[in-house]
Amino acid sequence: MELLRVVDKLGNDTNEIIEREELHNRGKLHNEVTIYIVNAKGEVLLQRRRKNRRFCPNKLGVIAGHQSYREDILTCAVRETKEEIGLKIKKEDLHPLCDKYLVEEKYNNHYMYPYYVICNQKAEDFTIQKEELSFVRWYKIEEVIKFIRSIDKEVIIMIDNCYCELVNKKEPIEVGADICVGSLIKNLGGAIASNGGYIVGRKNLINLCAERLNVPGQAKEVGPSMGQNKPILEGLYMAPMIVNNAIKTAIYTAYLFEKLGYNVSPKYNEERVDIVENIIFNNEEDLITYVKAIQSNSKIDSNAIAMPSEMPGYDDKIIMASGSFTQGSSIELSCDGPLRSPYIAYQQGSISYKYGKIIVERAIEYLLNK
């Protein structure tokens, strides 16, 4: 017998506990969790359910399950991941995909808590729950889009492409996405645009966005540019070279840390889908030392000292280094990380490969001599 907690319309516990079958029959609200497994190649792990399953037979999907009355939502996610694909994770490995959202169905009214986990394990190395699943496989973004289209041809597929522009041979709209959005203080701004974002995709959807963001009936014909058109176009022109420098800096960083015995993702010789390099320090002291060293060797604000601090939207203290010409720019060399296990530094950007090499080498020197 599986017992579940009933929640109210705000997602709060009501202290009512009901057996799962009865809960579904009565349409009672409860909590569920879903976990997306992704890798450094930008692929997502999908699993096919067996034909004899009551829910979603023979369908592709991701890890999902009910929160039992004895566990919190993160414990539920850890348990479901181990049960379904044999992957042992910690609560710290779970990253919120977005806030919980309400799903209202005839027999399955629930709040869904979505998370993602980064894992670079081969598909054949997962130990799947054989009574539930027939197989798991890594799927590329174009395959995922095709899968979604097979279910609903009218659905609008939007991709947040931050950090990824000009890294891959094809952009999301070239493999089936309807609309793509991103920031101009990242890749496409070329370190020249000082603010702004972009929306690209199907003409009718772009017009709808313009109607909503500006003035209905006038759409793209009006709207604030704040004198930014020239630097935005200059940044776009320079972006391919700038992104190339950022990628080379990330590869060089990965190579050095691998030689020093650190675990990094992606590895220096692996395929990349964005400009971010993950350096796993496994202890708080090394993470703080490295991020501080990036700041102290930056071209701007090198006199500033990076300090861990609270930040809205994060459960843990964050330490950030960003000595950039444009405040907040992450196409310029920057580095940050939450103070929680396994103490990962997320490094991205560099408008100059030569300067990027110097900064990274000096930061590593600080780390080794601390």
Taking the C-alpha atoms of 216, 219, 221 and 225 in order, what is their torsion angle to the nearest 10 degrees?
A: 100
Strands (E) across 99-236 are located at 101-103, 110-118, 133-139, 158-160, 179-183, 197-201
Domains along the sequence of the chain with CATH: 3-139 (3.90.79.10), 158-232 (no CATH), 234-368 (3.90.1150.60)
Q: What is the mean pLDDT of residues 170-196?
A: 94
Q: How far apart are CA 187 and CA 164, in angstroms?
A: 7
pLDDT digits (tens, 9 = 90+) for 51-75: 888 777 888 899 999 999 999 999 9
Residue 345: beta bridge partners? 279
Residue 182 has pLDDT above 80, yes or no: yes
* 287-312 pLDDT, tens digit each: 999 999 999 999 899 999 999 999 88
- Of residues 144 and 218, more confidently modeled: 144
Instruction: Look at residue 340 in the predicted model and tell me its pLDDT.
Output: 87
**Residue 222 pLDDT > 80, yes or no?**
no
% pLDDT > 90, the chain: 73
Structure tokens at 322: 């960003």
Does residue 337 have a pLDDT over 90?
Answer: yes
DSSP H helical ranges for the chain: 20-25, 73-85, 141-151, 203-213, 229-259, 284-296, 353-368
Model-level pTM? 0.84
What is the Cα–Cα distance from 119 to 97, expressed in whole angstroms? 15
Residue 7 is predicted with a pLDDT of 94
pLDDT digits (tens, 9 = 90+) for 149-166: 988 999 999 999 999 999
Quote the Cα angle for 260-264-265, to 5°: 160
What pLDDT is attached to residue 224? 65
